[in-house]
Each structure stands twice: as structure tokens, then as C-alpha cells.
């Protein structure tokens, strides 16, 4: 993460899991990312090719995304299937990612007594992380963009097949990491705050 500028420096200095807190944990996160990001992307694409009846049933299970799904049904069935598959695989992977990173953090950092205490600025950082996570999720999964000029579809192209399963998987992997970071920030604020 770049710590240029006042906000970047503030976020860097007050991160829930600060750099250098535990070398072993940082090494784990790098390896974990190398292994799990391709897995998340692969599952988004693999689930896209499930039979149409299963995709339609899975789509019925996630009515929260009706606006985007209606837009994608108009585009093409593969874009709709890719979106539904990405949402379903994200629903499976986000809690697994957050829990797995949390378990390793607990074993390598917290249980070893290596946690760095935080100050009250952690609340601001956690609120900013939550806002960023919601904005990322909204743009990636809920917002339905409309091209101003049909000759220039702009960013709406990223909502369609074959681009969306890739980008959607990256977003939900990032949201899983954000859920972990926010959880650590809240727990450190409650139990490991500097006075």
C-alpha cells in the first residue's frame, strides 16, 4: 500500500494489521493471495457453466441483486450466468477467506503476543475500510451502469461476460480481506487499545 499523501499515511500508520507486526503472518498472506485469488477466479468461471436450470435457481436465491440480474438477462445469458455464479462463489468464499486469515492471524500473531495496540484512530480507519468495502461492492455487484453513447459503452462492459467473473472474484476476495481487517480493528479497539 502506498502511504503517500495525508490520508494514505494516516491509514498506513493506523492499520488494524500494521506492516511489520509479524513477519510470518505477512509471508502467509502473500502465499495465501497467490493461491486463493486464482481459485476464486476459477470458481467464478466454473460455476458460470452450470446447467441453466441451476443458474436460474441460484438467481432466485439472491433477489437482492434483481436490478443487475434483469440488466444482464437483457444482454445475454452467459453474462447473467457469470454474474450469478460470481455472487454465489463469493458468498461461499468471503467467509472462508476472512475466517482462514483470522485463524492464521490468531495463531501466529495474537496467541504469540505479537499484537500491536491501537489508538482511537482505529475507529476512523475501520469506518473508512467499511465505506470502501461497501463502495467497491456496490459498484461491482449492485449498480447498473447505463452507457451515455452506445458507441462508447464505457465501464458497463466490465459487467458482462467474460470480464465480470474475473473482476467480481477479485472484488469479493478483497472484501474477504477487508472483513478480516475490520474484524481485527474492532477487536483491537475493544481489547487492545492504548490509553
89-104 per-position pLDDT tens digit? 999 999 999 999 999 9
Q: Which residues contact 95 (CB under 8 A, 6 or more apart)?
A: 176, 179
Task: Report, as an integer, the average pLDDT of 153-167.
Answer: 81
Task: Decide if 56 is inside a domain.
Answer: yes
Which residues, other chains included, contact 193 with Cβ-Cβ below 8 Å and sequence gap of 6+? 117, 118, 119, 120, 122
Q: Between 154 and 43, whose confidence is greater?
A: 43
> What's the pLDDT at 96?
95
- Whether the per-residue pLDDT at 3 is higher than 70: the answer is no
| Domain membership flag for residue 101 | yes
Indicate whether 107 belongs to any domain.
Answer: yes
Has residue 7 been placed in a domain?
A: no
First-to-final CA distance of the chain: 28
Distance of alpha carbon 165 from alpha carbon 47, whole angstroms: 10
In whole angstroms, what is the distance from residue 144 CA to residue 36 CA? 28
Q: Model's pTM, two decimal places?
A: 0.88
SS3 content of the chain, % helix, strand, coil (to 5): 75, 0, 20
* 24 vs 154: which has the higher pLDDT: 24
In a domain, 54, yes or no: yes
In a domain? residue 149: yes
Residue 142 is assigned to a structural domain of this protein? yes
Give the residue numbers spanning the domain of 149. 22-191
Count of structural domains, the chain: 1
159 — pLDDT class (breaks 50, 70, 90):
confident
The answer to the question of residue 12 being in a domain is: no
Amino acid at each position: 500500500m502506498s502511504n503517500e499523501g495525508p490520508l494514505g499515511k494516516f491509514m498506513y500508520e493506523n492499520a488494524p494489521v500494521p506492516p511489520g507486526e509479524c513477519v510470518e503472518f505477512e509471508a502467509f498472506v502473500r502465499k495465501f493471495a497467490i493461491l486463493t485469488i486464482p481459485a476464486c477466479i476459477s470458481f467464478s468461471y466454473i460455476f458460470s457453466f452450470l446447467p441453466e436450470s441451476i443458474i436460474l435457481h441460484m438467481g432466485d436465491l439472491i433477489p437482492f441483486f434483481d436490478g443487475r440480474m434483469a440488466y444482464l438477462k437483457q444482454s445475454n445469458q452467459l453474462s447473467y450466468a457469470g454474474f450469478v455464479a460470481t455472487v454465489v462463489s463469493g458468498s461461499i468464499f468471503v467467509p472462508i477467506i476472512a475466517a482462514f486469515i483470522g485463524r492464521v492471524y490468531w495463531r501466529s500473531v495474537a496467541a504469540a503476543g505479537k499484537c500491536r495496540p491501537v489508538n482511537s484512530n482505529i475507529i476512523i480507519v475501520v469506518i473508512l475500510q467499511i465505506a470502501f468495502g461497501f463502495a467497491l461492492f456496490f459498484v461491482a455487484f449492485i449498480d447498473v451502469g447505463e452507457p451515455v453513447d452506445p458507441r462508447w459503452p464505457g465501464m458497463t462492459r466490465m459487467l458482462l461476460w467474460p470480464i465480470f467473473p474475473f473482476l467480481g472474484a477479485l472484488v469479493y476476495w478483497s472484501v474477504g480481506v477487508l472483513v478480516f481487517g475490520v474484524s481485527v480493528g474492532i477487536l483491537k479497539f475493544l481489547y487492545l487499545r492504548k490509553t
